[in-house]
Amino acid sequence: MKPFARALAAIGCFALLTGATGMDPDNPTCPAEPDWGSSDAMKLTVTQGADYNILLAEGRIDAGLPDRLQAALDADPMIGEVWLRSRGGNARAGNDAGRIIRNLGLVTRIPKGWTCFSACNFVFMGGVERLVDEGGVFMVHMFTHTRDRWIIDDAVIDGSEATTELIASIEQSSALLATEDNDFLIRMGISRKLLTDVMYQQQAVGNEDDPSTRYCLTRDEVLEYNVSNPRR
């Protein structure tokens, strides 16, 4: 099934899951106004829970996040869960943050109404137990180094040599990123089909025939790909 057709088929299930009424017409499995927090660098705030403390991680994932996250977790050994709300950001910083969470054996959660997108996916995957609450949104896209179309356009204008160099750079960086993504998913216990069946099926850049560049997993898919692994 083509990604856009698959998106249309899933829209009813996702709307039921989230209780959402306003869906994104270009990305119909996703809410029109996802709550993925601030565009500022991710803020880390500790709040007290019943049995342990909770780290609220909200905002854009920047290169300095892994160091800030490690410092916050070292400063409070009572932290047991990390709650995530983010539009993504630096992919490698997301991977590094996910590894920090895994090394400390913490739980990750996407609470009701919050959205975890792009690089945030990999921070979330670091949890030994991963929970997507009903109404929480795990949103994915095709990871690419060329989401800024002006880079491609400028290379074409500059001529064939510049275009060839750009294509070579894209091929190399895309292969490295795909390898890193596969390795990360395997280490975190996530099904590699999340990449092949979902992430890599999305358009890097939308077009008239298929404007969708994002996909929000249904409750069944979150469990099918082991994105969420609630303890029985």
pLDDT tens for each residue of 48-62: 989 999 999 999 999
- Distance of alpha carbon 107 from alpha carbon 143, whole angstroms: 25
167, two tokens: 């294509």
Structure confidence by residue, pLDDT tens digits, 133-186? 999 999 998 765 444 444 445 545 555 666 666 566 555 665 566 678 889 999
What's the alpha-carbon Rg for the chain, to the nearest Å? 18
**What is the 3-class SS of 174-190, one letter each residue?**
HHHHHHHHHHHHHHHCC
Does the structure show a pLDDT above 50 at 5? no
Kindly write down the DSSP assignment for every residue of 109-130, as one continuous string.
EE-TT-EEETHHHHHHHT-SEE
Provide the residue type at 26 as one letter.
D
pLDDT of residue 134: 96
Does the structure show a pLDDT above 90 at 127? yes
More confident site: 67 or 213: 67
- Distance of alpha carbon 25 from alpha carbon 161, whole angstroms: 39
Average pLDDT, the chain: 83
Cα torsion 183, 77, 53, 88: sign: negative
pLDDT of residue 155: 47
Q: Torsion angle, CA of 85/107/13/202, rounded to 10 degrees?
A: 60
Among candidate residues 37, 57, 58, the one with its CA nearest the CA of residue 106: 57
More confident site: 119 or 166: 119
Structure confidence by residue, pLDDT tens digits, 18-35? 444 599 999 999 999 999
Report angle CA 140, 100, 148 to the nearest 5 degrees.
Answer: 35
Structural domains in the chain, sorted by start: 3-224 (3.90.226.10)
pLDDT of residue 92: 87
Does the structure show a pLDDT above 80 at 7? no
pLDDT of residue 195: 87
Segment 207-230 shows an average pLDDT of 92
- Distance of alpha carbon 60 from alpha carbon 94, whole angstroms: 10
Strand boundaries in the chain, DSSP class E? 43-48, 53-58, 79-85, 107-110, 115-117, 129-132, 137-140, 215-216
Cβ atoms of 81 and 110 within 8 Å: the answer is no
Q: State the pTM of this model.
A: 0.79
More confident site: 72 or 156: 72
Report angle CA 191, 86, 51 to the nearest 5 degrees.
Answer: 80
